[in-house]
Homo-oligomer: A and B are copies of this chain.
Amino acid sequence: MKVGHDHFRSIWVESGEVRIIDQTQLPHKLVIKSLETLDEAAAAIRDMWVRGAPLIGATAAYGVAIAMRSDPSDVGLNRARDVLTATRPTAVNLRWALQEMVPQLATFEPPDRYERAMKRAGEISEQDVATNSAIGDHGLELIRALAERKPGPVNILTHCNAGWLATVDWGTATAPIYKAHHAGIPVHVWIDETRPRNQGAHLTAWEMASHGIPHALIVDNAGGHLMQHGEVDLVITGTDRTTATGDVCNKIGTYLKALAAHDNGVPFYVALPSPTIDWQARDGVSEIPIENRSGDEVSFVQGKFADGSVGQLRISPENTPTHNPAFDVTPARLVTGLITERGIASASAEGLAALFPEMAAS
């Protein structure tokens, strides 16, 4: 999407180089980095210069390609797989992308591997863009219908960053918003700051400002009050993992917004590419393990100091114990619908099976 007058993706090839945005510097600095070696690609994932499942997958795919430029041997190919796998051991999309790349490349002669790998990584990236664009088209119709029922902008609340920075382009939760904006439908986005890592304040706020979409940043505590007073017409979030029954595992705090939406009759939609559906899982709360992350994410907050430098400060007393679950599960009963690349499904086994019969049949 746009950053001022320029169209950006979160990963792209320019002058033969793979380039990314160092997202750890956002929103305070737009730093573009070229990934020239396997180690740089691994660092980009491990140190979270890139984040978001689809973008991690695309970066891993390009990482394999970059490795093939300097060492296209079988040893080099296996080393690329091992180094990249180790960067984020639990990232499902990372493993998926490596599985898409490595076995197929092994069937080609080493001199052909770099070119083949770049082509395949490009295809993976384009596929992500097409998927998110389709999600946007389906979600757009929801926003259009809301716009026809009331004057003024459609107020959309979102949590965390399921934006283009988390994918290759469009984003998932943000794709319908961008599409509505492009269609001339007035939208206004309430952005949850999304503690502890503040992806809303850091990334979604920057995306919306960069693309020129009206928005306001709110604390995570505010959404319920806004819904009580008719200030939210629609909630759209992303998801890390969705059960075959429509339970949604997403960034911590999503469940609280879903409860408030339900209590106030506000439609609550989740945007997702179908690969994030876990067709084996039936009960999100009991079956999906929730990662507990470092308590430093709770005790410290990152931002920009008065002198312009970026760093952290401590908000709590020294040695305060913390607990930091990173995700929560929103039961399907609180989800109005799931916006997928094939259309909108009810959040239920039946709804998902109707759109993806070939997956649900297993």
Residues of A that sit less than 8 Å from B by CB: 27-28, 190, 193-196, 198, 201-202, 205-206, 209, 214-226, 228-229, 251-253, 255-257, 259-260, 263, 285, 290, 298-306, 311-317, 319-325, 327-329
Contact between A224 and B255, CB atoms less than 8 A apart: yes
Between A221, A223, A256, the greatest number of chain B beta carbons within 10 A of the residue's beta carbon is seen for A221
Contact between A217 and B320, CB atoms less than 8 A apart: yes
Contact between A323 and B253, CB atoms less than 8 A apart: no
Contact between A298 and B195, CB atoms less than 8 A apart: no
The answer to whether residues A253 and B220 also contact, given A298-B193, A301-B303 and a CB cut-off of 8 A, is yes
Residues from chain B with Cβ under 8 Å of A311 in the complex: 305-306, 313
The answer to whether residues A205 and B316 also contact, given A194-B221, A220-B221, A225-B290 and a CB cut-off of 8 A, is yes
Q: How far is the CA of A215 from the CA of B319 in the complex (A)?
A: 11
Contact between A219 and B201, CB atoms less than 8 A apart: no
How near does chain B come to A122, taking the closest CB pair, in angstroms?
31
Contact between A313 and B316, CB atoms less than 8 A apart: no
Partner of A315, one of B201, B251, B298, B325: B201
Beta-carbon nearest neighbor of A160 in chain B: B221
Contact between B256 and A315, CB atoms less than 8 A apart: no
Contact between A221 and B252, CB atoms less than 8 A apart: yes
How near does chain B come to A52, taking the closest CB pair, in angstroms?
18
How near does chain B come to A216, taking the closest CB pair, in angstroms?
4
Residues from chain B with Cβ under 8 Å of A225 in the complex: 252, 255, 290, 325, 327-329
Residues from chain B with Cβ under 8 Å of A27 in the complex: 316-317
Residues from chain B with Cβ under 8 Å of A302 in the complex: 313, 315
Contact between A260 and B252, CB atoms less than 8 A apart: no
- A28-B314, A218-B324 known; 5 other A-B pairs, CB under 8 Å? A205-B317, A216-B321, A219-B252, A224-B259, A303-B315
Contact between A304 and B314, CB atoms less than 8 A apart: yes
Residues from chain B with Cβ under 8 Å of A285 in the complex: 228-229
Partner of A259, one of B209, B219, B260, B328: B260
Residues from chain B with Cβ under 8 Å of A196 in the complex: 219, 221
Partner of A256, one of B195, B260, B301, B317: B260
Q: How far is the CA of A257 from the CA of B224 in the complex (A)?
A: 10
How near does chain B come to A116, taking the closest CB pair, in angstroms?
40
Residues from chain B with Cβ under 8 Å of A305 in the complex: 305, 311, 313
Q: How far is the CA of A124 from the CA of B132 in the complex (A)?
A: 62
Q: How far is the CA of A320 from the CA of B329 in the complex (A)?
A: 30
Q: How far is the CA of A311 from the CA of B229 in the complex (A)?
A: 34
How near does chain B come to A268, taking the closest CB pair, in angstroms?
13
Contact between A320 and B228, CB atoms less than 8 A apart: no
The answer to whether residues A252 and B321 also contact, given A193-B298, A314-B303, A316-B201 and a CB cut-off of 8 A, is no
Between A226, A257, A321, the greatest number of chain B beta carbons within 10 A of the residue's beta carbon is seen for A321
Q: How far is the CA of A299 from the CA of B189 in the complex (A)?
A: 16
- 8 chain-A/chain-B pairs, Cβ below 8 angstroms: A209-B317, A219-B298, A224-B253, A225-B329, A255-B260, A256-B257, A304-B314, A313-B313
